[in-house]
Structure 1
Amino acid sequence: MKHRHPPTLLATLAIWAMATTGLAHADTGKLLLTGGVSTIAGSAGGGITPWAVIGSNATEGEIGVSAYATRAATRDYGLNGYGVAVGWHDRVELSLARQDFDASPAVALNGIAPFGVAPGQHIKMDVLGLKVKVAGEAVLDADNWMPQIAVGLEHKQVHPGSIGSVLDFLGAKTSGTDLYVSATKLLLDKSLLLNGTLRSTNANQNGLLGFGSAAPGKNSRSLQPEFSVAYLINKHVAVGAEYRFKPNNLQALGAAVGLGAALREDDWKDLFVAWAPSKNLSLTLAYVDLGRIVPGITGHRRQTGYYLSAQVAF
């Protein structure tokens, strides 16, 4: 079955926001890069973890919009993504993203069982995000230690194509919702931004391999911490790092059927540099280490590579 891509909805959301706000008050008071960049799931933050900040350039009393496109490539896999986010009064963020994951190595699974995985198979995933700021000001209250705190959710729907039979074998569902709380603080006198996120999830590889697992794998949710630190070299350039703990739901199931650690999931991490040549444009380049992704079909190689993302914001 073919699944419809959502570009019409993405475009409608962006056009509505810009039409409502007259390009969303482009000359606003947010400092460059303090609103984060677009994550792979579409919300504002770092590349792989959300922050408590609200995306776009809009401040209190304004509505803003941002859009992004990203490309990540590791030794065996590739990911393309794009999306849009709307920020309302610097209080609420609504985001929508589409991911296209090149899962070509998965054809090797046919050697384990007759799964019928097609050569060159891609996995697509749609992510609908909602984030609400509930306390604090990450930037404006620079003279105290109270961070900005936000709660959010990411509802994910996976379109696995011929890999659907593999997800059925694993007992993984094709949709799920992550819940999280983030705390972000900018120490302006030190040019340092700190973020911590705690995520409730049962997603496998961020959801690209479904959600949960048949026994003896882990099907229930677990709490996974995520951390980001960024240093503002100047108002246009920031460098930083992220670490995202991941659940390892599938390994016990793999071991039970004689696959050992073939389904192991590792933590994600990156080192990034973000450049904002103007208030409306930012570019992010990162070195990523996603650990082992289904190591049984990739010779247990670590999936290291690059992440490149461009964002426009109003």
Structure 2
Amino acid sequence: MKNPRLLAMSVGLLLAAHAAQADTGKLLLTGGVSSIGGAAGGGLTPWAVIGTNATAGEVGFSGYATRAATQDYSLNGYGVAVGLHDRVELSLARQDFDASPALALNGIAPFGVAPGQHIKMDVIGLKVKVAGDAVLDADSWMPQIAVGLEHKRTRPGSIGSVLDFLGTKTSGTDVYVSATKLLLAQSVLVNGTLRYTNANQNGLLGFGSAAPGKHSRSLQPEFSIAYLLSKNLAVGAEYRFKPNNLQALGAAAGLGAALREDDWKDIFIAWAPTKNVSVTLAYVDLGRIVPGITNNRRQTGYYLSAQVAF
């Protein structure tokens, strides 16, 4: 990802069960940090936790800025979230994706893609905790469970003609269920999320596809695991399955696997120098993103994220 700004890929950690409490009474880092869509959790996937440092009866706020870069693309993001009584989370995120390689699509058809084109996307999120508590239920097998949605609207600019050709929509809504389990004795956190979506590349390439591609939503699992090295330092990994809606359409158009979408994964390290600040650095593998214009290169690189929470 070249030429950019700040990506919505923050990797969060809830693993500080041994850490000191914040003034609000919430344990250090137990609100996570911002995921790519703005919800609290890991960098690639939301968790069941409610972001910010607010506990029951309190209202909290957080803000973040992130940047990711791979061989051919870059993504910058920023956003804010409000946590209500450790029960409800509202989030707003904006992404700016440098889609400069898409200029090569003009060689396939007269799409009119402008040089240096960026795709922008806004994400409005809602998450509600419905059962369990990651910290209070740490001595049982009961996880914290939350349901959420992310409504996304993409502004493709001159790439809009490409999305029209693909038959994709410029807005869509993902629905998900997350379960987060904190194992205090082992200093380990695990999370599983099941997402109902038809987003292409998280929505940056629209939603659904013309036939014979897949237009309807499908269930896609996402997993995270983190290990606490010290009270304010943790490492972990994430894996997010993707729907690959466009490949069949590309093949039917004689493009082979040029529109293939791969799963996402990362390995991260997160540090919280204070109860209000966290910084995350990760190695990310986003697979092939429109491999027909990037010589089938896998998009590997880094993301760096910073968050403040109160």
Identify whether the pair has TM-score above 0.5, normalized to the shorter chain.
yes
Shift of residue 33, structure 1, vs aligned partner: 2.2
Confirm or deny that 1:296 pairs with 2:287: no
1:236 matched residue in structure 2: 232
Give the AA of the match of 2:278.
S
Confirm or deny that 1:186 pairs with 2:175: no
Confirm or deny that 1:101 pairs with 2:127: no
1:68 matched residue in structure 2: 64
1:8 matched residue in structure 2: none
Alignment of 1:101-250 (within 5 A): 101-250=97-246
Given that 1:53 and 1:148 are in contact with CA atoms closer than 8 Å, whether structure 2 keeps it comes out as yes
Alpha-carbon separation, structure 1, partners of 2:131 and 2:163: 39
1:309 equivalent among 299, 302, 305: 305
Shift of residue 34, structure 1, vs aligned partner: 2.4
Alpha-carbon separation, structure 1, partners of 2:276 and 2:184: 21
Alpha-carbon separation, structure 2, partners of 1:113 and 1:65: 47
* Deviations 1:104-132 (CA, angstroms, capped at 9, x unpaired): 00000000000000000000000000000
Alpha-carbon separation, structure 2, partners of 1:75 and 1:286: 15
Shift of residue 142, structure 1, vs aligned partner: 1.2
Given that 1:33 and 1:238 are in contact with CA atoms closer than 8 Å, whether structure 2 keeps it comes out as no
* Deviations 1:125-148 (CA, angstroms, capped at 9, x unpaired): 000000000000111111100000
Query: TM-score normalized by structure 2?
Result: 0.93
Alpha-carbon separation, structure 1, partners of 2:186 and 2:61: 29
1:255 matched residue in structure 2: 251
Alpha-carbon separation, structure 2, partners of 1:226 and 1:29: 30
Give the AA of the match of 1:169.
F
Aligned length, in residue pairs: 290
Given that 1:251 and 1:264 are in contact with CA atoms closer than 8 Å, whether structure 2 keeps it comes out as yes
1:275 equivalent among 271, 274, 290: 271
2:12 matched residue in structure 1: none
Alpha-carbon separation, structure 1, partners of 2:154 and 2:236: 30
Alpha-carbon separation, structure 1, partners of 2:46 and 2:209: 25
Comparing both structures, which one devotes a greater share of its residues to helix? 1
SS in 1 for 2:106: helix
Give the AA of the match of 1:265.
E
1:31 matched residue in structure 2: 27
Given that 1:291 and 1:304 are in contact with CA atoms closer than 8 Å, whether structure 2 keeps it comes out as yes
**Aligned-residue CA RMSD in angstroms?**
0.9
Query: TM-score normalized by structure 1?
Result: 0.91
Given that 2:125 and 2:150 are in contact with CA atoms closer than 8 Å, whether structure 1 keeps it comes out as yes
Given that 2:22 and 2:28 are in contact with CA atoms closer than 8 Å, whether structure 1 keeps it comes out as no
Identity %, equivalent residues: 86
Alpha-carbon separation, structure 2, partners of 1:144 and 1:56: 24
Give the AA of the match of 1:107.
L
Given that 1:265 and 1:292 are in contact with CA atoms closer than 8 Å, whether structure 2 keeps it comes out as yes
Given that 2:227 and 2:236 are in contact with CA atoms closer than 8 Å, whether structure 1 keeps it comes out as yes
Moved over 3 A (4+): none
Give the AA of the match of 1:299.
N
Bigger relative contact order (CA 8 A; separation at least 6): 2
Alpha-carbon separation, structure 2, partners of 1:26 and 1:128: 27
Given that 1:52 and 1:148 are in contact with CA atoms closer than 8 Å, whether structure 2 keeps it comes out as yes
Give the AA of the match of 1:196.
G
Shift of residue 26, structure 1, vs aligned partner: 6.4
* Deviations 1:228-273 (CA, angstroms, capped at 9, x unpaired): 0000111100100000000010000000000000000000000000
Gaps of 5+ in 1: 1-24
Alpha-carbon separation, structure 1, partners of 2:224 and 2:55: 23
Give the AA of the match of 2:78.
Y
Give the AA of the match of 1:47.
G
* Deviations 1:69-117 (CA, angstroms, capped at 9, x unpaired): 0000000000000000000000000000000000000000000000000
* Deviations 1:1-28 (CA, angstroms, capped at 9, x unpaired): xxxxxxxxxxxxxxxxxxxxxxxx9612
